[in-house]
Amino acid sequence: MPTVRTWRAVLGVCVLGVGLAAVPATAHAQTPVLCSERALVAAITAANAVGGDTLALTPGCTYTLTSAHGGGPDGPVGLPPVTAPITLLGLGNTIARDPGAPPFRILQVEGASNVPDTHGQLSMAGVTIRGGSAVTPYPGGGIANLGGTLSLVASSVTGNTAVAGGGIYTDNGAVSLTTSSVTGNSATVSGGGIYVNSGGVTTLVSTISGNTPDNCAPSGSVPGCG
């Protein structure tokens, strides 16, 4: 399985606080984020610029993304790619792509293993990621972890689509799921729930089920995933 950057050529040929060990030591005091797409985009941009932050989402808010706010060689992304240690603290929050918006994945984490001079670490608690649709031939419909660290606590990734890794795609990175779920995602090739190109995924009291055409790929890449 090639990296995200070689998918085009390949296809041409064929709760809060529980387990939040990934909260960055450099995090600032919590920054509240108003309930709007613009506010969330601005907050992540600012957090990247200052080397990391903890963003407190408005309780119960659904952040609906109407356009991509990031892109480049890995395809369009709804929110600015995470290049620093960032924590999203939610309480019944959803970050979703507007069904009428053009295709894009919701989140992207960039680490030095894949993208030089970046230190992307994303921790989420109490957040649902929904409706992402990565543009073919790019993988990772909900979240693409490209050499960074991704930690989900009491969170959900659902209803996302991509060529591979409909829910989550990870390459050269680390992913951990704690009391979280990856369900109802789909891929046109494999890894409807999670696709592991390289790196590792760990789970604790979490569910990966109901994804098509399979839950995890390659087979055996995610311990306990059928």
Both structure tokens of 110: 């960039």
> Could you tell me the pTM of the whole model?
0.89
Phi and psi of 142, rounded to 5°?
Answer: -85, -60
- pLDDT at residue 163 tops 90: yes
- DSSP one-letter code for 134: P
Query: Mean per-residue pLDDT for 27-32?
Result: 78
- pLDDT tens readout for residues 35-52: 999 999 999 999 999 999
Q: 55 φ, ψ to 5°? A: -105, 120
What's the CA gap between 186 and 141, in Å, rounded?
A: 9
pLDDT at 2: 52
Instruction: Please give the residue that has the higher pLDDT: either 25 or 215.
Output: 215
The per-residue pLDDT of the chain, averaged, comes to: 90
